[in-house]
Amino acid sequence: MSKAIANSGFQPDEFAANSFRIGAATMDVHLGLSAKRIKDLGRWKSNTYKGWTWIGLLTMDNDNGERFVQSVVPPFSQSGICFAFIERTQTLTVVTDIDDMFNKGGKIHDKIIDSKAHVVVAYGESYGIVFLRWLPYLSGQEHMKKKSKVHANDLPGFQGFVRSRNPSSTTGDGFIKDFWQQAFGCVFPNTNAVQADGDAQPLSVCSESCYPGSGKKVKEGEAFCCYDCFPCPEGKISDQKDASDCHKCTDEKYPNERQDQCIPKDVSFLSYEEPLGLCLASLALSSSMITTLVLATFIKHHNTPIVKANNRDLTYTLLISLLLCFLCVFLFIGEPHVAMCLFRQSAFGIIFSLAVSCVLSKTTTVVLAFMATKPGSKMRKWVGKSLASCIVLSCSLIQALICTVWLATSPPFPDVDMHSFTSEIVLECNEGSEIMFYCVLGYIGFLAFVSFAVAFLARKLPGSFNEAKFITFSMFVFCSVWLSFIPSYLSTKGKYMVAVEIFSILTSSAGLLGCIFSPKCYIIVLRPELNNKEQLIRRKPQKM
C-alpha cells in the first residue's frame, strides 16, 4: 500500500520534499508550507490530486502543529476531503521520555499502515522530519520487544550472500540501493530522475466510487467521505460517478435499463403504418364496401315485395347510416389534430343515434301496424311514413343537441400524454368533458335498450317479412358490445383505448348489418322465387 502526499500548486521554495520507507512502501512528504498558503490547500481536490479524499494528518504536538490543524481542516472539508486520522508526534526535548516517544512513534507507524488512507500529510519543523524517518524502526523495536522470547539461528550462507551484494549494481531487486541511500545517505552516480504522472498516483478514498446508475448514502456516524452505494430506484437515474442522489428524467425522456442515461421517448398514436391501425382500417373499408353493395342490391330490387314490405325509405336510411358508421372509423386513425378531435366523437354519436333510431322506428312501425289491424283501433292514423320519419328525426336531433352543448362548453382538443407509458409520448384527443362523452354513449345505449325491448315484444307478431325477431337479435349483439366496451375502454390507455372504441364501432355496426339484412339479401339474391306477393299471402300468421 502506497502512502503519499504531493503539494497542490505551491511554489518550490514553499516546501521541502522528503521521502522515507514505511514498511514496504514509500511515503512522499512535502513540508514547510507557509502560513499564507495554508488557505490554498482547499484547491487540493479540484486541482492536482483528484481522488485523494481520504487522507491522514501528522503534525508536531506543539502550538505550531495545533494552529496548522485548525487552519487546514476547514478548507479541506469544504473541498470534500476527510481525515482518516490526525496524529501528533511527540516534541523532542531534553526531558522527553524516550520510551514513551518510541512507543507512540511505533503506534503512529502502525496506524498509518493499517489505515485505508493512501495519502498522509505531515507538517513540522526539520527535527520533526528526522523523527518521521525513525517511525519504521520504532515500530520494529516495539515489535522486537514483544517477540523477545523468540529464538533465532543463523541462516547458512546468508552472511556471504549479504557481503556479495553490490549497491551500485543495476541488476537485482534494487532494495539494497534504497537501503544504502536511506541508511547512509549515499549518492550513486548515473541515477536518472523519474517524473511520475498526479493521474498515476494511487487513489486514497474511504469508499469506492459509486458508478452511474447508483447514488451514495453517507454511513451513519462516519465522515461524509465514507458512504454506501445504492441502486437508483425505478424511474430515476444517475449519470455520473459519486452522485449524491438519483434524479428523474424530463418528461420527454425515460431511464435506460442500467439507469445511467435518459433516452428520448417514442411518439405513439394509432397510425396506418402499424399493423393494428392497418388492420382496423382494412376492416372498416371492407365493411363499408359490403354495406354499399347491400344498399345497391336493395335499390336495384326496390319494387320487390320484400323491400316494399319494410318501408323502403327507412331501410335506405338505415343502410346509409351504417355506411357512415363504418366510415367514421377513419376519424379515429392517424395523428390527432384539431378537426379530428373536435368532430370524431360527435360524428360517431349522431350517426349511431341515427342508425339506432331507424331500428327503433322499424320496430315501432311493426307494432303499430299490428295494433291498427284490430277492429275499432284508433292507431291507424299513427301508421305511415310520417311516424317513422318523426321518430328518426326527433331521436337524432336530441343527440345532435347533446353534441352541440358538448362542443360549445368543453370541446375535445389534441393533447399529449407523457406519463401513462414509460417509454412513449402518446398523442391523443382529450375529450374535454368526460361527462358529456358518457352522456353521448348513454343516450345511444338508451335508444338501443328501447329498441331491444320493443323488438322483443314484437318478435312473434304475425305478418309477412316481420323483422322483429332479427332486430331483437341484432340489438342484443349491439347492447352486449357496448356494455363490454365501457370496462375495456377504462382499462386501456393511449392508442389501445382508441382501438377498443374502433373495434366496438365495427362490431356493433356489423351486427346490425348482418342480423337485419343478411336474411333479406339471401332471399333477394339466392331465393328470388320467395320474393313475390303469392309467398306473402301464403304465409300463415304466428300465434302470440
Q: Rounded to whole angstroms, how far apart are CA atoms 362 and 359?
A: 5
The last residue of a domain, from among 228, 244, 264: 264
Given this model, what pLDDT does residue 177 score? 67
Residue with cell 508526534: 89
Given this model, what pLDDT does residue 142 score? 47
Instruction: Flag whether 510 is in a domain.
Output: yes
Pair (231, 176) in one structural domain: no
Domain count for the chain, please give it. Answer: 3
Side chain identity at residue 105, one-letter code = G
CB 501, CB 332: distance < 8 Å: yes
Q: Rounded to whole angstroms, how far apart are CA atoms 120 and 55?
A: 5
Query: Which secondary-structure segment (H or E) carries 99?
Result: helix 98-114
Residues 6+ apart with CB under 8 A from 258: 212, 213
Pair (281, 241) in one structural domain: no
Residues 6+ apart with CB under 8 A from 139: 105, 106, 109, 110
Given this model, what pLDDT does residue 86 score? 87
Instruction: Flag whether 444 is in a domain.
Output: yes
Helix 434-457 and helix 468-490: axis angle, to 10°?
Answer: 150
Pair (325, 228) in one structural domain: no
Pair (377, 342) in one structural domain: yes
Given this model, what pLDDT does residue 341 score? 94
A 10 A CB-CB count for 1 gives: 15
**How many CA within 13 A on the CB side of residue 286?**
9
List, as own/partner pairs, every contact residues 527-536 make where C-beta atoms lie below 8 angstroms and the sequence separation is at least 24, other chains included.
531/301, 531/304, 531/305, 531/306, 532/304, 532/305, 533/305, 535/305, 535/464, 536/305, 536/309, 536/464, 536/465
In this structure, what are the phi and psi dihedrals at residue 522, rounded to the nearest 5 degrees?
-60, -45
Pair (223, 339) in one structural domain: no
Instruction: Flag whether 90 is in a domain.
Output: yes
Pair (325, 376) in one structural domain: yes
Q: Rounded to whole angstroms, how far apart are CA atoms 426 and 420?
A: 8
Given this model, what pLDDT does residue 8 score? 35
Instruction: Flag whether 531 is in a domain.
Output: yes
Side chain identity at residue 303, one-letter code = N
Lateral strand order in the sheet of 25-31: 16-22, 25-31, 3-4, 119-123, 54-60, 82-89
Instruction: Flag whether 203 is in a domain.
Output: no
Pair (324, 291) in one structural domain: yes
Instruction: Flag whether 498 is in a domain.
Output: yes
pLDDT in tens, the chain (544 residues): 445 544 333 333 333 333 333 333 444 444 334 333 444 444 454 444 456 788 888 888 888 888 888 888 888 888 888 888 888 877 666 555 677 777 777 777 777 877 878 788 887 766 666 666 666 666 554 444 444 463 445 556 656 766 676 766 656 555 566 666 655 666 666 546 434 446 455 677 888 888 999 998 888 878 888 888 999 998 899 999 888 889 999 989 999 999 999 999 999 999 999 999 999 999 999 999 999 999 999 999 988 888 887 778 899 999 999 999 999 999 999 999 999 999 999 999 999 999 999 999 888 877 777 776 666 656 666 666 678 888 999 999 999 999 999 999 999 999 999 888 888 999 999 999 999 999 999 999 999 999 998 888 877 766 555 677 888 888 899 999 999 998 999 889 889 999 999 999 999 999 999 999 998 899 888 988 887 766 655 554 443 3
Pair (431, 476) in one structural domain: yes
Instruction: Flag whether 113 is in a domain.
Output: yes
What residues make up the domain containing 293? 275-538
Pair (526, 390) in one structural domain: yes
Instruction: Please tell me the pTM assigned to this model.
Output: 0.67
Query: Where residue 56 sits, what CATH number does that domain have?
Result: 3.40.50
Pair (257, 402) in one structural domain: no
Query: Where residue 513 sits, what CATH number does that domain have?
Result: 1.20.1070.10
Instruction: Flag whether 150 is in a domain.
Output: no
- Grid cell at residue 159: 552472511
Q: Rounded to whole angstroms, how far apart are CA atoms 35 and 70?
A: 12
Given this model, what pLDDT does residue 439 score? 95
